A and B are shown apart, each in its own frame.
Chain A
């Protein structure tokens, strides 16, 4: 499968714990996006990278959240000191800005439950 992959698919954690999610984009896609989706809502933008550079962060991304894309390939999203309000689906998407379009391809998401 050559689509966007995310790991783990589900994560249950206790409040106050740290969690880390991984996203592997489509090969050679230079942009990688993180979104958060809560029940009954559309995805909300968190941050995106072009290659290894983090170009934009939403105000939703509090200082407990950090994202990296160290070699311009896979990315990790870490949430420190999780809160119940962090429970959501975390979606990763990738795109290739070459070729005159920027279609974003989404992964299946990581569902986080904070108890």
Chain B
């Protein structure tokens, strides 16, 4: 059973566009939702994370939108750049992030120049 469903599997946008990656979860005990960025040959790196007491969080060009009733959250990348080309993973955890992470399958983003 896949507890965190991520879409799309891949995404191509032009430089300056706003890619949106969506995730949905099933376990209502999840209360910490991070997004990770992974470049080829590297481990995932934390981008931004949100807790369900807020509906939106911004850090630089990255924004998470969270809909608790729908059990969905999404990542928006403003003014995307070719350097943002990477694989993005959403994840979820219980116990305010002190439990283990359950990852989505990832979205491969390509930002064309």
With contact pairs A104-B46, A108-B43, A109-B43 given, residues A42 and B104 touching in the complex (Cβ less than 8 Å) = yes
Chain A residues, CB < 8 A from B101: 35, 43, 45, 104
- Which residues of chain A (9-68) have a CB below 8 Å from chain B? 33, 35, 40-45, 48, 56
Known: A45-B100, A48-B100. A103 touches B46 (CB 8 A): yes
Judged by a CB distance under 8 angstroms, whether B113 is at the interface is: no
Number of interface residues of A (CB under 8 A): 23
A91 to B43, CA, bound (A): 7
Q: How many A-B residue pairs have CB under 8 A?
A: 50
In the complex, what distance in Å separates the CA atom of A11 from the CA atom of B104?
Answer: 26
**In the bound complex, do residue A40 and residue B89 qualify as a contact, i.e. CB atoms below 8 Å apart?**
no
Q: Which residues of A are at the interface with B, using a C-beta cutoff of 8 A?
A: 4, 33, 35, 40-45, 48, 56, 91, 93, 97, 101-109
B45 within 8 A of A: yes
Shortest Cβ gap from B2 to chain A (Å): 10
How many residues on B have C-beta within 8 angstroms of the other chain's C-beta atoms?
A: 23
Cβ–Cβ < 8 Å partners of A45 in chain B: 100-102
Q: B17: CB under 8 A from chain A?
A: no
* Complex CA–CA separation, A41 to B106 (angstroms): 6
Question: Which of B43, B100, B103, B105 is close to A107, meaning CB atoms less than 8 Å apart?
Answer: B43
Given contacts A43-B101, A108-B41, 18 further A-B contacts (CB under 8 A): A35-B101, A40-B106, A41-B106, A42-B89, A42-B104, A42-B106, A43-B44, A43-B89, A44-B103, A91-B44, A97-B98, A101-B97, A102-B96, A103-B34, A103-B46, A104-B46, A106-B45, A109-B43
Residues of A within 8 A of B89 (CB): 42-43
